[in-house]
Amino acid sequence: MSKDRMVELLQEHFELNLYEARAYVALVAFGVLTPAELASVSEVPAPRTYDVLRSLEKKGFAMNQPGKTNKYRPVHPANILEKFIQDWQERVKEELEAKKKAKEELLELMAPLIETEVPKYGVERVWVVRGIKNSTLKTKEMLEEVQNELLLADDGFIAINLEDDIIKAVDRGVRARIILTKNLLPRIKGSKIVQYANDGKIELKVLEKFDLPMLICDEEVFFALEDLAARYFNYETQVWIKDHRVVNLFKKKFEEYWEKAESA
């Protein structure tokens, strides 16, 4: 029913609770209502009508007409909904500025912790990362910190979604060798990765398929465990390892792929 949809929209987007939304729809429909009348024409329980109408008045959705019996009329939807959006935009703007200031203050306060001589990952050399959001953050961190060599065997995600981070690393002087599955080429045809490859700034090859996608940045390797069900739900497990012995094993595997791959 359209009435149910109106109530749903008022709850979802205009910060009214269920009874407030029902009451406002009733006011718009009938024009002027007393609390008792509201209870008889809406699904607002009689004991709640006074509180609900006063709340609508406080939020700007209704006006009170004093008299022997209090009556309430709605503020026109076009007016109150537009005002709500304007107020919301201003509130969001203020919250955004507050978050930006908090970020800057936190970065300043945390600088001594980040710049400490203690190794960033302490004695840890292996991390398990789950979920696409967390794996993306970890990958971006690796690409931001790589200094010498970047090796990527990618079957879809990194080259498409983290292209700018790869390009920034190359612009810093990092040597990049990238192997992509052939089916990716049409999707990155106009990308900077292909442009840089054509300009000789990136070594780019393609392979029909490979069983172990990986990202190697200097002495770190990041790879996904095979779990198709988890991948479907964007919750696949990624493993990050910082150990030169393990990284060398992955580099050997990468070189095997590189030898088999064709120029893009």
**Per-residue pLDDT tens digits for 100-136:** 999 999 988 888 876 655 555 555 678 788 777 888 8
Q: Is the pLDDT of residue 64 over 70?
A: yes
- Stated as kind and residue range, the H or E segment containing 188 is none
| pLDDT tens digits for range 78-107 | 999 999 999 999 999 999 999 999 999 998
Asked if residue 166 and residue 65 are part of one domain, the reply reads no
Where does residue 130 rank: exposed (0-12), middle (13-18), buried (19+ CB within 10 A)?
middle
Rg (CA), the chain: 29
Q: Are residue 245 and residue 134 in the same domain, yes or no?
A: yes
Average pLDDT, the chain: 88
What is the pLDDT averaged over residues 48-74? 91
pTM: 0.56
Mean predicted confidence (pLDDT) in 205-234:
78
Q: Do 149 and 237 fall into the same domain?
A: yes
Exposure pattern of 77-87 as b/e (b: 16+ CB <10 Å)?
A: eeebbeebeee
* pLDDT score at 73: 94
Verify that 254 and 136 share a domain, yes or no. yes
- Span 6-22, mean pLDDT? 95
> pLDDT at residue 176 above 60?
yes
- In this structure, are 236 and 151 located in the same domain? yes
**Can you state the percent helix, strand and coil of the chain, rounding each to 5?**
55, 20, 25
β-sheet bridge partners, residue 130: 237
At residue 118, the pLDDT reads: 52
Residue 34 token pair: 């007393």
In 144-174, which positions are buried (b, 16+ CB within 10 angstroms) versus exposed (e)?
A: eebeeebbbbbbebbbeebbebbbebbeeeb
Lowest mean pLDDT segment, chosen from 30-34, 140-144, 155-159: 155-159
Residue 203, domain member (yes or no): yes
Pairwise pLDDT comparison (113 vs 53), residue with the higher score: 53
* Domain assignment of residue 203, given as a range: 126-263
The answer to whether 196 and 167 have CB atoms below 8 angstroms apart is yes
- Binned at pLDDT 50, 70 and 90, residue 53 comes out as very high
Give pLDDT, residue 69. Answer: 82
Rounded distance between C-alpha atoms, residue 6 and residue 29, angstroms: 12
The percentage of the chain sitting over the pLDDT mark of 90, rounded to a whole number, equals 63
How many domains, in total, are found in the chain? Answer: 2
143 and 65 inside one domain? no
Q: Give the chain's largest Cα–Cα span.
A: 91
In a domain, 89, yes or no: no
Pair (65, 171) in one structural domain: no
pLDDT confidence of residue 144: 93
- The answer, yes or no, to whether residue 157 has pLDDT greater than 90, is no
- Strand ranges for 124-263 from DSSP E: 126-130, 149-154, 175-181, 203-207, 214-217, 220-224, 237-241, 262-263
Q: How much is the pLDDT for 79?
A: 94
